[in-house]
Amino acid sequence: MRGVAIILILALLAAFCGGCWSRREITEIAIVLGMGLDLTPDGRVGLSLQIARPGAFYGGGDTAGGEGRVACWVVRGEGETLEEAAAYLAGKVPRELYWGHSVVLIFGEEMARRGVGAVADFFGRKREPRETMWVTVAEGRASDVLECHSVLEKTSAQAAAFLVTMGLGTAVRFREFVESLADEGVEPIATRVTVREVGVTPCPGEAGAVGPHRQAETSGTAVFRGDKLVGWLDQAETRGLLWLKGRAVGQVLTVRVPGKPEGWLSFRARRQRAEIVPRLEGGSVRFDVNLVAEFDMVEQGGIGDFAGPDQIRGSERLLAGAMEAEAGAVVERVRSAYGSDIFGFGDAFHRKYKREWHEMKGRWDEEFARAEVRINARAFVRETGLLTIRAETGRE
């Protein structure tokens, strides 16, 4: 028994020989919340990091710690490569950079147009940055997004991440971005972020009220071809893209009712699915895209009573038509203007025609540009809310 005890004690002592291996106290790290990548005028990589100032996040309240002070600090470094830029920052930031809590990766427009392959490689190799961070492309400079402020959130990086998470636009995680970068059958997309001057009404008489200031907001989709940015989609086009990706839950679609000049109906998608069926007919490629969506009616005007099965069926036809139009428009736009297959038509074709794909993938761009795309949408209206008739029509 004594022998066992001695062995245990020795094992315990041996455990401590490592001497706090890779220990890093929380006060020794600089927590990076957001990362921005820009091209410097001389063509090098500019890395902007938004680093949290923990003092400002103190929840205690009674200690005046960071009240009213800026919650973050944006530092910029540059170098031939990203690692060089990060090493350069080590001389500016008195703590060790910690990337594990970075929520958003922002490419500057110029950087994105030049190509982001090397950047994706850097973040893919590094241990700390998460695969779950959101990938966005800033219209203009990425550092501008990191430097502006949010009224609601403490830092603009968090605000941008929440916008992507909660919003109805494109949302792409780093992992998905890299996957589509590597995949030959689909091109990457990212969220488009714009910095705008906004006027916020200051709360009257309140100290520290916010006046007009610059604020980041999501504004559509960035379209890539290979690892290069080729163009943008606006909010409406983004919705068309989302129908095709089967991710349009929460989107609001408004249709005009024929025959009633003032009549319109507004629907919110509650469930949505998309299926791309490729067909190879005599050497020419055709895609049948089947869209299925379920909607709730959320608002209407100029219709009066809206509850009957005929009306619901009619509105389903209208919705299907609207979806087809939106999706078709975005396919044509992206195909003709950007020549990029961001929808995954190539993947769908690859899955079904394995052998043919290997022959065609070299000239897929031309094949895709020529291919016929037929969109066929089906819509179902599930709920019409708590009212059956509008309040003011009930009086008549």
Partner 1 sequence: MGRRLGRRTKGQEDDAVARGFADGPLSRDLDANLRELKAIFDRCSDVVFREFVFAQCNGTRLALVYTDGLADKAQVSDQIMRALALEVPVAAGGRRIGKGRALEFIKKRGLCMHQIAETDRLQEVVRAVLSGDTVLLVDGHATAIVNVARSPETRRVADSEVEPTVRGPREAFVETLRVNTSLIRRKIKSPSLKIETLRLGRVTGTEVAVVYIEGIANDKLVPEVKDRLGRIQVDGILETGYIEELIEDNPWTFFPTVNITEKPDRVAAMLLEGRAAVIVDGSPFVMTMPNLLVEYVHSTEDYYERFLFVSAVRVVRFLSLVASLTLPAAYIAAVSFHHELLPTTLLLSIAAQREAVPYPVLVEVLIMEVLFEILREAGLRLPRPLGQAISIVGALVIGEAAIRAGLVAASTVIVVAVTGIGSFVLGYRLSIAFRLLRFILTLLSAALGLFGLVAGMAVVIIHLCTLRSFGVPYLSPIVPTTVVDLKDVVFRAPWWAMFTRPRLIARRDRTRQAPDLEPGPPGARSRGRR
Both structure tokens of 291? 């869209």
Q: Which of 197, 138, 143, 127 is nearest to 163 (CA)?
A: 138
Which residues have CB under 8 Å from 167's CB, separation 6+?
A: 218
Which DSSP string do the residues of 117-162 spell out, in sequence order? HHHHHHHHH-SSS-TTSEEEEESS-HHHHHHS--SSSSSHHHHHHH
Residue 381 β-bridge partners: 295
**In angstroms, what is the minimal distance from the CB of 3 to partner 1?**
11
State which residue, 71 or 190, has the beta carbon closest to partner 1.
71
State which residue, 161 or 178, has the beta carbon closest to partner 1.
161
**In angstroms, what is the minimal distance from the CB of 322 to partner 1?**
39
List contacts with partner 1 (CB under 8 A): 1, 4-5, 12, 15-16, 18-27, 29, 31, 33, 52, 54-60, 65-66, 98, 100-101, 103, 128, 130, 158
**In angstroms, what is the minimal distance from the CB of 305 to partner 1?**
49
Distance CA 285, CA 177 (A): 27
SS3 sequence of 236-277: HHHHHHHHHHCCCCCCEEEEECCCCCCCEEEEEEEEEEEEEE
**In angstroms, what is the minimal distance from the CB of 87 to partner 1?**
21
**In angstroms, what is the minimal distance from the CB of 333 to partner 1?**
37
State which residue, 23 or 125, has the beta carbon closest to partner 1.
23
3-state secondary structure of 12: helix
State which residue, 174 or 343, has the beta carbon closest to partner 1.
174
State which residue, 18 or 283, has the beta carbon closest to partner 1.
18
**In angstroms, what is the minimal distance from the CB of 151 to partner 1?**
18
State which residue, 13 or 391, has the beta carbon closest to partner 1.
13
Distance CA 333, CA 340 (A): 10
